[in-house]
Structure 1
Amino acid sequence: MKTCLTTALAALLLLPAALVAQEPIDGRASDVDEIRVTGRSVTTGLAQIEVDREILVDTATALKDIPGANVNANGPVTGIAQYRGMFGDRISVVIDHLGVVSGGPNAMDAPLSYLSPMITENLSVVRGIPSVSLAPESIGGHVSTALSRGDFSIAGPALSGFVGSRYSANGNVSTSASRLTLAGNTHKLSLVAELDEGDSVSTPVGENRPTRLHRERSDLSYAFAGDRTSVLLFAGRLDTDDTGTPALPMDIRFIDTMLAGAQATLELNENVSLEARVAWNDVEHLMDNFGLRQAPMPPMQRQNFSTGSGTQASLATTVALSGSTLILGIDTSTADHDATITNPNNAMFRVDNFVDANRDVFSVFAEWKRDAGLGDIEVGLRARRVETGAGEVFAVGMMGDMGANAALLADAFNAADRSKRWSTVDAVLKYRWQIDSGTEWRFELGSKTRAPSYQELYLWLPLQATGGLADGRSYIGGLDLDEERSNEITIGFGRTIGRFAISPQLFFKRIDEYIQGVPSTNMVANMVSQMMSGSPALQFSNVNAEIYGADIAWQVELSEQWSLDGVASWTRGKRRDISDNLYRLAPPNASIGLLWENDRLSIASELVAYSEQDNVSIFNGEQRTPGYALINATLNWTPTDALRIEARLDNLSDKTYQDHLAGINRAGGSDIPVGVRLYGAERTLSAGVIWSF
C-alpha cells in the first residue's frame, strides 16, 4: 500500500511536467493568468474558493483544495486552519477584514466556524508571506473570508436573494440557508440566515460518536455606497448547540455569540483615501464530557463554562504617489477570557481554568508598493506592542494529594508576575518580476513575530485546554515565554503556455523561540497530571524549529469543455535543537480533477491522495498514519438562471482511511475505540437545490 500511494503521489506531481512536454515547442506564451476551474482560482499570490458552491458543512474543509493549506478537524464544525505547517493562533483568519475572539480555551469556535458555507461569498488564502497591512499578527499565514450580503442594484430599488437546502445521507446532515437583499444603487439592506444540523456520521468501521451538530447563523446589515464614501454596518448571531468534538476531552453544549461591526471608506481626493473598521463580539460557551458522549463515573464528570469578549479597531490611509502607493495604518484589539470547571454532581468542586485572562495588541504599520511595469516591489514594516494579564486562581473540591498539589500550583501562580508585554517589529519584502507575457517570478522575504496566547501563558493546572491541539496530553503554561520569530523566504513562479498554466512555490521558515510543549520539570504539576491522565505534563516552552516545503497548482484546458487541474503540497517541520518533528503537520498530498462543463452543466471527478505520515512528534506521543487515496465526484446543473441543482459523491470506493489531522478519539461509546485515530466518513451522497431571485 505504501509503494502504491507513493507511486500515485509521484504520478500526480509529475503529471504537470508531462503535460508541458506535450505542448508544441513553438507554442506561444500567453499572458500569465490565474488557474481557474468552476468556483476556484489560484495565482502566484492568492488562492480563492467560492465556498457557497461547495457541498460542505465546515467552511474550513475548503482549505484542503488550496495549495499548502489544510484543516485540523476536531469536530464537524470545529476546523482549525493550517497553512504550510502552522495552525491555530499562528494563522490570521478574518471575516470581512475583521477577526473574531474565540470563546473557548480549546478553539471549539474557531474563526471559520462563524461562517457557514452557503452564506460565505468567498474564501482566499495568501500564497506566501502575508503583507503587513493585512493583519496585526500573521506569522503563519492569512485567510480571508466574506459573508454573502448581496449586491447593489444599478437599475434602482430591487429585491434579490436566494433560498437553498442541502442534504447528506450520512448522518442525515442538512443545511438550509437564505438571503434577502433590498438594494438600490446607493443603499442596501440584507438579512442572511443558515441552519446546519445532523446526527453522528458513519465510517467503514462504524459510527463516529459524537459527531452530531446543530448550528444557527444570522446576520443583518446595512450598506451605503456613494461617489466618495462607503459604509457597512452589521450585527449577527451564532448559536451552536449539542455538537460533538470527539478529538477533544469535551463536547459543545452551547456557543452563544453576538457580533457587531462597522466599516467605512472615504476618498479625500484623487490621491488620498481613508479606511476605518471596528468590531465587537461576545461569547458564552458551555462544554462537558457527559452529555453527548458516554458519561464517566459521576466523580469524573466535568463541565466548563467559558466566556470571551473582544474589540478590534483599525484606521488606515492610502496615498497614491508618483508610480507607487503608500499605506499607513494603526490597529488595536482587546480580548478577555474566563473559564470555570465544575462537576454537576458535586457543588463543592470548582476549578478556575482562566480568570480575567486578557490580551491587548496595539500596532502601527507602513507599506510601500511600486509598480514598475514588468516588476513590482513591496516593502512593509509593522511595530507591535502586546500586553497580557490574568487574575488569581483557585481550586476546591479535589480530594487528598490531588487537592493539596493543586493548591500548591495555584499559590505559585498567584504569587508570580502575570503581567507580560512584548515589543516586536515585523518586516516584509516582496518582488514580482514578469519576464515576458507568459512567465512571472515571485521572491519574498519576511520576518514575522507572534507573542504567546493566553493558554500558553496562563494554563496553571495540567489540563487539555490548549487551543485545540487535541494530542491527549495535559499542559501547563509558561510565564517566561518569549515571542516567536519566523524568518522566511518564498520563491515561486507562474507560467502559462497555450492551454497550460502552472504555479509552484518553495518556502523555508527558520523559527526562533517556537512555542510547543516539552516535558515539564515541575514535579508538582507532573504528579497532578499523572493522577488525572496517567501521563506527566507538558509545559509550553520556547524551542527552535524550521519548516520547509513546496506546493503547486496547475491546469490544462484539453478542449473548450474538458480540463484537468491539480494541487500538490509537501511540508516538513522539525526541531532544530533536538531530533524531533513538529506536531500535527499535514502529510504530503496531491489531487487531480477532471472537469467537463458547458453553459448549464458541469461534471467533475477527482482523485485525492495522501501519503503516510511517519514524521511525527515524539514528545506529543503523535501516532503515525498510513496513506490513502479517495475518489470523489460532483455535479452542478443550472436548468435556468435562477435554479441550481447539485450533487456530490465522496469516497466512491468506500475506502477505510484515517486523516492525520482529524485527531485521536477521546469519546467513549463510539464504534472507534478511545485512543485510536479517527476514521474518515464512508461513501457519502449529498445533494442540494438553490433558487436565486
Structure 2
Amino acid sequence: MSTSTYVLRPLAAMISCALYMQHAYADQHIVRLTPIVSTAEKGNTANGLIVVLNPKQPTQPIPSVDGAAYLQNVMGFNAVKSAGMVNSDITFRGMFGSRIKVLSDNSENLGACGGRMDAPTSYISPERFDQMTVIKGPETVRFANPGSAATVLFESQPVQFNDGQFYKGQVSTVMGSFGRLDHNVDVAVGEQNYYARLNANRSVSNDYVDGTGKTVHANWEKWNTDLALGWRPTEHTWLEATAGKANGQVAYAGRGMDGTLFARDHLGLRLQQTHINDVIEKIDLQVNYNFNDHVMDNYGLRPLNQRMAMTSNVARKTLNERMEITAHVRDWTLQTGLDHQYNSHSKRGTRAYKQLPRQKDMSFESFGIFAEASHDLSEQQKLVLGTRVDAVTVRDFRVAKQQFNQKRSQTLPSGFVRLESEFPTLNTKTYVGIGHVQRMPDYWEIFSPSLGNGSTDAFNTVKTEKTTQLDLGYQYQGDDFNHWASAYAGYVQDFILTQYGTATNALNVNAKIAGGEFGVGYKFTPHIQTDVSAMYAWGENTTQKRALAQIAPLEARVNLRYVADQYSVGALWRVVGSQHRYSQKQGNVVGYDLGPSQGFATLSLNGAYRWNNGVTLALGIDNMFDRTYSEHLNKLGNANVGFSGTEQINNIGRNYWARIEFKF
C-alpha cells in the first residue's frame, strides 16, 4: 500500500463519520451567517500593526496547500515562485529569508536545501492551525533571532470542551482543476481535563496548464500528520505533548532538480501555568525538536534524457527551547524570558546516499534574553517597548574551508519602542514605532554562495546585517465606511545581497527601504460590501546607486461581495503593475532580477453556502478569463522540463475549485 493510499483511507472514513454526525444533529443547531471567502485583510490589532487571521477559513485563489500560498493573501506578502502554487518562498515588503521569522507554535522549523527548495513555509499546512498572526516590522523581541521585516506566528490553541461534550472537529475536502485534491482532518476527543487531538492532511495535484495551453512541470504530493495529547489537571495548568511526521514530493519547473523527499519529524512539550500570584500572571515553558530530511534529484519526477543522474540529500536538526513569564509590575505588563536555539546542517550525495554517512557542515547556536512591556499612559494611549540580546555562534565544519577561521561568535542587540493611540471621537486608532534588529547571516548567505564580498571565504567575510525601521499607521472604522494604512521607512546597513555571474557572490551593501499597505472598505447595503487594498515596496541600493533587487511591483486587489444569511457570492480583481525598478543578476539565494516585468490583471469569482452550523460549501473560479501572465518574482523555466531556458514560468490558467467543510 502506498503512503498516499494509507493516508487517504482514514481521511475518507473520518469524512463519512462527519457527514453522519451532521445529519444526526443538524436540526439541533441554529444557522449562522456563512463565512466570506477571504481575499484581503486589514490590520486588526495593535491599532493596525498586527494582522490576525483564521487559517481554517477558505481563501481565494484556491485554498492554500502550504504557508507561503496562504500568506500571499495578506497585504505586503509576495513569493518567489519556482514550482507553481506550492513551495514558493515568501517575501514581505521586498524582504526575504530570515528577515521574516516564521514560527509554528512558537517554534522555528528550518529547511535544509541550500537553494531553499524546502523553505520553512513548505512544511506548514495552514488548516492545521487555529490562528495566524503577522507582526509587521521589527516590533517584537519575544522570539529568538528576531525578524527585521515581519514575524509570522502559526498557532494552535488548547482544546476546550463544553459540559457534556466529548468530541469536536473539522473536516474539509478541496477539489480543483488539474487533479487537485486535498483532505484536511482536525479532530479532538476528551473532556475538560484531558484531550487527544489529531491533525492530518494530504494534498495532490498534477501539472497545471497556463493561459497559453502549455503544460507546466509542477505536480506534487504532500502529507502531514500531527498528534497532540493535552492535560489540564486544574483550570490554570496546561500540559501538552506533540509529535508529528510529514513527507512529500514536488516537481519544480524552475530548477534543475525536483524535490523527491520532504520528510519532517517533530516532537514537542509545552507547560503553561496561569494565575500564579498577584504579580506573575503566566509562566510558559516549551521545548521543540524538528528534523527535516530533504532529497533532490533529476530523475525521479522527470526523464533523465541521457543526462548524468544527480542526487543530493540534505538534513537539518533544530532544537528550540524557551521560557516566558508574563507579569504585572505596578502599571506595566511585562513579558520576559530566555530562549535557546541549536540547529545543525548535514549533506550527502550520489544515488546510493542512504549507504553514506551524513557529513555535518554547519551548526548555529543562539542564547537570548528578552523583555517586552506595555504601559497605559492614559485611556487613549499605550506605550509598548522591548529589548533583547542574542549571543550567536556559528561553526563551519567543511573540510575544504579549514584554512579559514571556522567559528563566528557575536552578541547582537535588538529593540523597539511604539506608541499606540485612540481617538474615539474620530473613530480612529494610530501607531508609530521605531525598531532596530541586528541579524547574523544565515546558512543561505554564508554557505550557499561561492564568494562573500569577493572572497572565497564567505563564512567570515559576509557582515552582520543591521536594520533600523520606522513603522506607522492608522485605522478608521465607521458604520459603513472604513479605511486603514500601514507605512514604513528604514535604513539597512550591510544589507546582504546575492550577485549572480560566473559565481554567486554574497555582497554587503547599504540600502534604504520604504513603502506600505492601504485599504478602504464600504458597505453599500447590509448585504453588498466592497473593499480595495493596495501594497507597494521600494528599495534603493545606496552603495551601488541602483534599485534594490527582488522587490515586487505595486499591487491592488478589489473585492466585491454579496452576503446573505446562508450564502455569499463575490468577485476578486487582482491588478499588478509593471516593474521597471530592477537590478539584473542581483537578488537572493532563490532568484534574481531578470529585467523589467509587465503588469497584468486577473478576475476570480467565489461563492459559499452554509446549510447549517456544520456544513459549508465554497466554490471558486480563479483567473476566469484564462490570462497568460507571470510574476515579477519568478524563475526561468528549466530546459529539461520543456522550457527554452530563457522564458519565465507562467502562472496557472483558468482554475475551478470547490471546498466542502464539516464541523462537529
Structure 1 residues 626 and 353, CA gap change in structure 2 (3 angstroms): farther
Map of 2:627 onto structure 1: 655
Distance in 2 (CA, whole Å) between partners of 1:142 and 1:460 is 26
1:514 corresponds to 2:518: no
Partner of 1:525: none
**Aligned with 2:606: secondary structure?**
strand
Match of 1:23 in 2: none
Structure-to-structure mapping, 1:402-481, within 5 angstroms:
410=400, 413-437=401-425, 438-459=427-448, 461=450, 477-481=458-462
Is the alpha carbon distance of 1:552 and 1:486 closer, same or farther for their aligned partners in structure 2, counting shifts above 3 Å?
same
Equivalent-residue separation in structure 2 for 1:376 and 1:128 (angstroms): 18
Alignment partner, residue 191 of structure 1:
198
Q: 1:47: which partner in 2?
A: 51
Q: Partner of 2:546: helix, strand, or coil?
A: coil
Instruction: Give the CA deviation at 1:292.
Output: 2.0
Aligned residues of 1:181 and 1:190 also touching (Cα < 8 A): yes
Aligned to 1:388: 394
- CA deviations on 1:83-140 (whole Å, 9 max, x unpaired) are 1111111100011121112132222222222222443333221134331124432112
Picking from 475, 482, 492, the partner of 2:473 is 492
Distance 1:587 1:294 in 2: 36
Contact 1:178/1:193 (<8 A) preserved: yes
Q: Which residue does the alignment assign to 1:251?
A: 258
CA distance 1:87–1:317, change in 2 (3 Å)? same
Look up the SS of the partner of 1:61 in the other structure. Answer: helix
Are 1:233 and 2:238 counterparts? Answer: no
Query: What residue in structure 2 maps to residue 630 of structure 1?
Result: 602
Q: Determine if contact 1:383/1:423 at 8 Å carries over to the other structure.
A: yes
The answer for the alignment partner of 1:312 in structure 2 is: 320
**CA positional deviation for 1:488:** 0.6
Task: Report what 1:66 is aligned to.
Answer: 74
Determine if contact 1:200/1:207 at 8 Å carries over to the other structure.
no
Q: Which amino acid aligns with 1:378?
A: V
Structure 1 spans left out of the alignment, 5+ residues? 1-35, 394-409, 464-474, 520-534
Give the conservation status (yes or no) of the 8 Å contact 2:42–2:484.
no
Aligned twin of 2:371: 366
User: Following the alignment from structure 1 to structure 2, what is the Cα–Cα distance between the partners of residues 536 and 69?
Assistant: 31
Where does residue 285 of structure 2 map in the other structure?
276
Which residue in 2 is equivalent to 1:692?
663
Is the partner of 1:290 in helix, strand or coil?
coil
Residue 611 to residue 100, structure 1, CA distance change in 2 (3 Å): same
Matched, 1:677 2:648: yes
RMSD between aligned alpha carbons? Answer: 2.4
Report the secondary structure of 1:89's partner residue.
Answer: helix
The reply on whether 1:217 has 2:224 as its aligned counterpart is yes
Match of 1:579 in 2: 545
Contact 2:144 2:341 in 1 (8 A): no
Task: Count how many residue pairs are aligned between Structure 1 and Structure 2.
Answer: 604
Call closer, same or farther: CA 1:209–1:343 in 2, change over 3 Å: farther
| 1:581 CA drift (Å) | 2.1
Of 290-299 and 445-454, deviating more is 290-299
Distance in 2, matches of 1:686 and 1:391, equals 48
Letter in 1 for 2:553: P
* Contact persistence 1:476–1:539 (CA under 8 A): no
Cα distance in 1, alignment partners of residues 497 and 328 from structure 2: 43
1:141 — aligned with what?
A: 150
1:51-94 Cα offsets, whole Å, 9 max, x none, are 32222223322222222222223324212221111111110001
Q: TM-score, normalised to structure 1's length? A: 0.83
| AA of the residue aligned to 2:420 | R
Q: For residues 237-287 of structure 1, what are the alpha-carbon distances to aligned partners after superposition, in whole Å with 9 as ceiling and x for unaligned?
A: 11112x112223321111111011122211321320211111001121110
C-alpha spacing 1:432/1:460, structure 2 compared with 1 (3 Å): closer
Closer, same or farther in 2 for the Cα pair 1:368/1:340, shift >3 Å? same
Write the deviation string for residues 523-556 of structure 1: whole angstroms up to 9, x where unpaired: xxxxxxxxxxxx4113112111111112112221
Distance 1:460 1:379, change over 3 A: closer
Q: Distance in 1 between matches of 2:449 and 2:123?
A: 29
Moved more, 211-220 or 450-459: 450-459
Deviates more, 1:203-212 or 1:366-375: 203-212
Describe the SS at the equivalent of 1:314. Answer: strand
Give the SS at the match of 2:444: helix
Secondary structure at the counterpart of residue 60 of structure 1: helix
CA distance in 2, matches of 1:354, 1:450: 26
- Equivalent residue number for residue 381 of structure 2: 375
Shift of 1:165: 1.3
User: How far, CA to CA, are the matches of 1:459 and 1:681 in structure 2?
Assistant: 30
Report if the CA contact (8 A) 2:137-2:469 is conserved: no
Counterparts of 1:635 and 1:59, CA distance in 2: 23
Q: TM-score, normalised by structure 2?
A: 0.86
Work out whether residues 49 and 486 of structure 2, in 8 Å CA contact, stay in contact via their aligned partners in 1.
Answer: no
Q: Which runs of 5+ in 2 are unaligned?
A: 1-34, 587-591
Contact 1:71–1:81 (CA under 8 A) maintained in structure 2:
yes
Q: Report what 2:29 is aligned to.
A: none
Inter-CA distance 294–669: structure 2 relative to 1 (3 Å threshold): farther
CA contact (8 A) 2:80 2:91 kept: yes
Structure 2 residue identity aligned to 1:458: F
Which digits, 9 at most, give the CA deviation of each residue in 1:387-427, with x for residues without a partner?
A: 1112133xxxxxxxxxxxxxxxx3xx221111111211101
Q: Shift in Å at residue 643 of structure 1?
A: 1.0
User: Structure 1: how far apart are the matches of 2:95 and 2:498?
Assistant: 15
User: 1:208 and 1:150, CA in 2 relative to 1: closer, same or farther beyond 3 A?
Assistant: farther
Letter in structure 2 aligned against 1:180: V
1:460 CA displacement? 6.8
Hey, what's the Cα distance between the residues in 2 that align with 1:99 and 1:625? 34
Cα separation, partners in 2 of 1:461 and 1:441, compared to 1, 3 Å: closer
Q: Assess if the C-alpha contact under 8 Å between 1:154 and 1:185 holds in 2.
A: yes
Answer yes or no: is the 8 Å Cα contact 2:138–2:437 preserved in 1. no
Q: Which moved more, 1:476-485 or 1:574-583?
A: 476-485
String of CA shifts for 1:641-663, please: whole Å, max 9, x gaps: 22111111100111111112232
Residue type matched to 2:436 in 1?
Answer: S
Change over 3 Å in CA distance of 1:310–1:117 after alignment to 2: closer
* In 2: Cα distance, 1:496 partner to 1:478 partner: 50
Would you say the 8 A contact 1:210–1:292 is kept in 2?
no
